[in-house]
Chain A
């Protein structure tokens, strides 16, 4: 009788331990999954802020860069494309276009001393540059979150629960080729 009670006691302990362990693995998987969504949403918050700053920047530049209509139009177009993008890969592509257009604008602005001295322009340039850096940091964070998730769902015993939950590896944020290339800068001086 004593042996049976002892055996049942140990069995109960093992079962409780096992259940707690499985619950903690399940919770972990949910946590790492939510982390990815949260880190993506955090990138979008900053992208939205940068997106809102662009019309102000274009407005300031318009007065000075009369002969750079093409550059300014490229930014407006890239901004519109960014607004229309829905999936992460589309957003990444549109974002690369926008970042490239902004780089060109800031490079071309070097040629306009009056614009460069304009306080609003300096403020907007700093703000956009700061936002770009923040976005880059958050993308790095997003990739770290994805890396953790992709590792966890392949580890034993989490892999069994991940299969039940139908979790598949997530795609990392890859910098499109366009963003790796330096922007082409053309100076169009009036004849």
Chain B
């Protein structure tokens, strides 16, 4: 809730700043009576904001790179609760086949796109996309641990892509099918939060409360509990009932003991947002994040500086030759 309010605040702030800058520019443009100026200002200010986003986003990628480098790899047998890095082989928990290629896998992601043509140019529009959410295991020489891939940042190379042409003559339409998957026994890297899959104490309390509520609603049973046949059930009698139900719950649990490895899971946490699953090596992942952060930071800087030069030139503070002619790009 608090996060949503903070996000809204930033959106409102950016919109306010953006609109006030446009207002200033419009005033200036009105004086000069030149539609190109408004058009130019909008582009330049917009791209400066994009540049700023790239610049800051680049630093978050750099943080991720460093985080991966700074966390040593844990052995699954001795993994501790909290943020952990694991390396091992992917193993299925239950049979799973990818949606497009029907490959045996532990995880898949697919994307179906449709080609859209506008004059000479064309672009791909997403028709459908999705990914599997089935749990799977990561196994090393010491044991195995459950992985919940929900909301993970998946870094995988493209495994399948096929372009199909539908229709005949002038009415042809192109569709693109793309798929990524992790196959069983593939080496994987996981960085995420290790946590209890369920809290035993909490779940027992819930069960107890449910049973007690049921009991309170059943008047016949309540009568039976009133051992001394007094007008009310005494505290001692109630305690005895509670203890009996507790024992019943324990008995049920013992009858169906959970698999020990299913006790904990590596997943995304509410506190630590980082959760990466990849079939690349740790070195390759850090290299990817490093490259991405450098490109974003320097790309963002160049974009900001370039747009600032054009903006200042448009405002008459720098030579006119430095103005970017945006209209030309639309012709």
List the interface of chain A (C-beta within 8 A of B): 1-3, 5-6, 9-10, 13, 16-17, 20-21, 24, 27-28, 31-32, 35, 38-39, 42, 45-46, 133-138, 140-141, 144-145, 147-148, 152
Contacts and interface: CB of A to CB of B under 8 A. Distances in A.
A31 B82 CA distance: 13
A138 B80 contact: yes
A42 B75 contact: no
B309 A6 contact: yes
13 contacts: A1-B317, A3-B318, A5-B312, A9-B304, A10-B305, A13-B301, A13-B305, A21-B59, A31-B67, A35-B70, A38-B80, A135-B78, A144-B72
Interface of B: 55-56, 59, 62-63, 66-67, 69-75, 77-78, 80, 82, 142, 297, 301, 304-305, 308-309, 312-313, 315, 317-318
A145 B74 CA distance: 11
Given A2-B317, A13-B55, A140 B297 contact: no
B325 to A, nearest CB: 19
B301 A17 contact: yes
Given A5-B308, A141-B75, 12 more contacts: A1-B317, A2-B312, A2-B315, A2-B317, A5-B312, A13-B55, A16-B55, A20-B56, A35-B72, A133-B77, A137-B75, A141-B74
B312 A152 contact: no
Contacts of A13: 55, 301, 304-305
A141 B72 contact: yes
A45 B80 CA distance: 10
Contacts of A140: 75
B77 A137 contact: yes
A42 B80 contact: yes
Contacts of B82: 38
A6 B317 CA distance: 10
Contacts of B309: 6
A16 B58 CA distance: 13
Contacts of A138: 78, 80
| Leading 6 A-B pairs by shortest Cβ distance | A2-B317, A144-B72, A137-B78, A2-B318, A137-B75, A134-B78
Contact of B62 (A3, A24, A152): A24
Contacts of B312: 2, 5-6
B63 A145 contact: no
A147 B70 CA distance: 10
Contacts of A42: 80
B28 to A, nearest CB: 15
Contact of B66 (A17, A20, A24, A147): A24
Nearest to B66: A28
A9 B71 CA distance: 37
B70 A152 contact: yes
A135 B77 CA distance: 10
B57 to A, nearest CB: 12
Contact of B313 (A2, A9, A133, A145): A2
B305 A9 contact: yes
Given A2-B317, A6-B318, A137-B78, A17 B67 contact: no
Contacts of B301: 13, 17
Contacts of B55: 13, 16-17
A148 B74 CA distance: 14
B264 to A, nearest CB: 13
Residue from A5, A21, A136 with most neighbouring chain B CB atoms (10 Å):
A5
Contact of B70 (A28, A39, A135, A137): A28
B91 to A, nearest CB: 20
Contacts of B72: 35, 39, 141, 144-145, 147-148
B56 to A, nearest CB: 8
A108 to B, nearest CB: 27
Nearest to A42: B80
A16 B62 CA distance: 15
Contacts of B315: 2
A137 B79 CA distance: 9
Contacts of B313: 2
Contacts of A28: 66, 70
